[in-house]
Structures are given as structure tokens and as C-alpha cells.
Amino acid sequence: MSDHLMKRDGRFIYRRRFPVEVASIVGRTEFRKALGTSDRKEALQLARVVSVDFDRTCAEALAGSACGGGTGAMQALGGDVPAVTAERILERLRAVVDDATRSAVEALEPSQRQAPTWAAELEWRKAALQAIADGKHPGAADYSPMEALAALRALEALERGEVPTLGQPSTPEPANAVPSIAPVPEHSVPAIPAQRARHGQTTAAEFQRTLDKYLAQATPRRGQQVQTLCRDALRWPATPAEQVQSILDYGQRRLEQGMKASSLNTSTNAILAVLRCMPGWEGIKLPKLDATAKTIRSGAGARKEARQPIPVAMLKACIQNMQDTAPEADCAALLILARYGLRPSELLREGPEALTVREDIMGGKELVFQAGLSGRKTDASRRDLPVHDDDARLFRLVLAERGEHADLGRRTEQRVRRLHDLLGRRLPAGYTLYGVRHTVADLMRHAGATEHEAGAILGHVGKQNMTSIYGGKSALKAQRGLLDKVRQLLESPPA
């Protein structure tokens, strides 16, 4: 039973793969259920109950498929085998083609497929059928290669936009035949077949125009995230009330899959932000009394306990261990994050041009790191941080390691992930790379910094009065003094 348990965000999930014949019927490769507990003993008890649901799902799928007449590659065989005739074989092949076609069309609905896109879903289905036809699949002996090939050809025809048949043009097309489905690019696979808009409904084309305007203002990464969310959650045509229900249904599915409320809240707000850009949709919001909406709202707001600050002694031990075993550039990056409180992406995104000499209003010159030079998270993220003389070499080493890449966003993600993994292997559960930034914030408070002073270094200064727009060339004495105190606390923390 424990083989089917996995832990995500501190809570257990029951995860079990469907047999091939069941997966082809239900349109998913695995069964997943959030158990809602972090206690392993309780999770094992709940898993026994959920395993019954898994067995029942498999039995119902096979029973329903058997009643429909399809066998072989698309369903398990059962009962007495009737006399084999050419007509029976053709009927069975037609049933296989019909089942394969209907299942593939239903996979246009995101909830009816396992892969992220319709094209990817067809790819793994075709690969499984080809393995059965070649006799390479573990359960290939239970299936007919001819039926597997028939189902495979049906999927290939569907991709070409043709109606899958057994090649009998003289046979009149039945009234309930599956309509021709043209191949659809991955980025524009519809969530459901197009429907005629009723009075008061907004169409997908109208929403797409609004979405295009939103994407023109967003970063490529943000735009990709919003497009994926809108494709998975929204259904068109729809009124605002109908779309709210679609968002709630999406939220319920994601919660059942084990998604955290905080992550779902962020996703939901991103979807609502786009919808509010449409004329007449400015007031769209989630209902107050709905249970799913309450769960989504419970994840709102930044919480201090969301990421634990790493204790100084633990952080020093990790730094020492990395200096002995990890690449020099990664050790330098961790030291800089621990001394300056930068966001990991703020440091690892930049190149050598971010390290420059700044001249203040009195003519004084000092070496600074320009955080947020090539991209910033907030308006306050663009700031100059004075660099200690001993840290100049570390900065140059880390900034030079970025190199020249066509896709700097992807390169930044790779560097952050690598440093996150290196540090994560040296930290107990519950601590992450971003916790280093929280440690620096606590050290600044310990050194006597006000929230405004700490925010100026962290890049979290809020909007102020009009005086704040004047100047910008004052000396960085206060910031340098505070960072020096943080450095001293890291090197020799008080007993």
C-alpha cells in the first residue's frame, strides 16, 4: 500500500497507475487522490479506503467498455468467446476504431486527459498501441495486434483531420458518426467543442482579443503561465456567472490533485485579472459563501511562516560544506545571497554589466551591484547595493558565469534550480534557498534596522510622498553600514 503514497507540500497523495486497457478507456494514465494528511499512519489507513475506489473505477471502466462492444487493445476481454466469423471480426474492429476515436475526441477536454496537451495525449496513446502491435508491451499477449493497429490508424487519421474508418466507402455513413476533427496546434487546443453563443455570453474570439492585449504588456514567462491557466480553467462562450463556476470547478479539480491553496489563489487571481480587462466584466469575483472559493481565498497574502528563515549556525554549516564540495561559482552565489538578501533570480539573471561604479552627489565613488537591471519583480526592486571590497571578486565570478544566451529567462531558471538543489541537499526538510533572504531580513532587524531600512535593501519599499521622486544620487552610507552589520553577524554570531 505504501508504494502508492507520495508526499507533496508536506501532505500525502495516493497515486496509482491504471492498467493499459483501463487507461485507454478513462483517458488517464493514473489515479490520483489527495489524502489531506501529513501523518503516515493515517495516510496508510486512508489509502486502503481509496484503493477500493481505484478498484471500483477499473471494474466499472472495463464493464462499461465490455457493454459497448469494444475489445482487444481498447478494453479487456471477458465472457465466452462467440464463434469467429469475418463479420464478427469486422464488427469488433469497427468497435475498436469507434472507441479509439471517441476517447481521443473526449481528450480535447483537459480533465479527460493525462498529458498537458491534446497532441501529447495522442502521442503516448499511439506509442502504447504500437508497442502492443509489435509485441513489446508487457501485456501484449492479452491483445490482438490487428486491433491495436486499427486503433493506431484511427488516431493517425484523426490527427490528419479525417474521419477514421475501416476503408468501406460504399457503406453509408451513420447518422451518429463522429465529425471530422482538424489537427489543432498545441497552443490553441480548445477546451471544449465550439458552441453557439447565447444572448449575454462572451465568445472565445472576444476573449482572445483581450488576452492578446494583456500578453503584449506581460513578460514572456508570465504570458505563458496566463495562457495555460486560461486554457485549462475557462470555458467559452460564457457569461461572467458561468465563468465563475468554471473557475470554481477548476479550483476543485486542482485541490483534489493536491495543489496548495496559496498556489491556487495566485493562479485564480491571474485569471480574474485578465477577465476584468473585458468590457462589462470589471466586477467579476469569486462568491463569498462557496466552499471552494473560501479555500482559495485562504491561500491569499504573504505569510511569515510560508518560508522559514534558516538559522545562522545552520546556514554557516551549509556554506562551509559547499565551499568544500560544490563548484566555486555556486558557493560564491550563496555567500552573496546570505550577505545582501537578494532574490536568487535577481543575482543569477544579471551579467557583468550589473556591477558598476556609482558616483554620488558629493562626488564620492563606490562599487555597487544594480539589482533589477534587466528585469524587476516590483517597482522597488531596481536598487543599488554597495559592494564590500572583499565581495567584488565573488560578484564578478557569479556574473561572468551567466554567459551569453538567447533565452536569458530559461538560463536564469536553470541557475536558480541548480543552486536550490545544491543547498536543498544540505538543509533539513522545511528550509529552502529563498529562506536565506528571510534570514538576512531577520539579521537586519537584529542589527536595529527599521522596516523601511530593511525594505530599501530587500527591494520592498512602498510608495511614498512626492518628495521620493526627487534626487537619487545620495550616498549609500546607511545601506553600507547595515550590510556590514549583517556581515559581522554571519561571521561571528553572538552566543
DSSP string for 174-213: PTTPPPP-----GGG--SS---PPPTTPBPHHHHHHHHHH
Residue-wise pLDDT for 59-72, tens only, equals 777 776 555 444 44
The SS3 of residue 240 is helix
- The dotted CATH code for 312-491 is 1.10.443
Of the candidate ranges 71-85, 114-128, 274-288, 378-392, the one whose mean pLDDT is the lowest: 71-85
Percentage with pLDDT > 70 across the chain? 79
Q: Give the tens place of pLDDT for each residue, 173-202.
A: 444 444 444 444 443 333 333 445 566 788
Lowest mean pLDDT among 130-134, 177-181, 406-410, 430-434: 177-181
- Establish whether domains 200-301 and 312-491 are of one fold: no
Q: Are 88 and 163 in contact (CB under 8 A)?
A: no
pLDDT at 271: 93
Judged by DSSP in three states, 331 sits in helix
What CATH fold (topology level) applies to the domain 200-301? Answer: DNA polymerase; domain 1 (1.10.150)
Question: What phi, psi does 32 have (nearest 5°)?
Answer: -135, 135
- Residue 487: closest CA among 389, 415, 395: 389
Residue 15 host element (H or E): strand 11-17
Question: Beta strand 383-386 with 11-17: parallel, antiparallel or unpaired?
Answer: unpaired
Ranges of each domain in the chain: 2-159, 200-301, 312-491
DSSP 81: P
Model confidence over 472-494: pLDDT tens digits? 788 889 999 999 999 999 987 65
**pLDDT, tens only, 337-360:** 999 999 999 999 999 999 999 998
* More confident position, 133 or 190: 133
404 or 256: which carries more pLDDT confidence?
256
Q: What does the alpha-carbon distance between residue 314 and residue 428 come to, in Å, rounded to a whole number?
A: 9
pTM: 0.49
With CA atoms as reference, report the closest residue to 413 among 425, 402, 399. Answer: 402
What does the pLDDT look like over 362-382, one tens digit per residue?
999 999 999 887 766 566 678
What are the counts of helices (DSSP H) followed by strands (DSSP E) for the chain?
18, 6
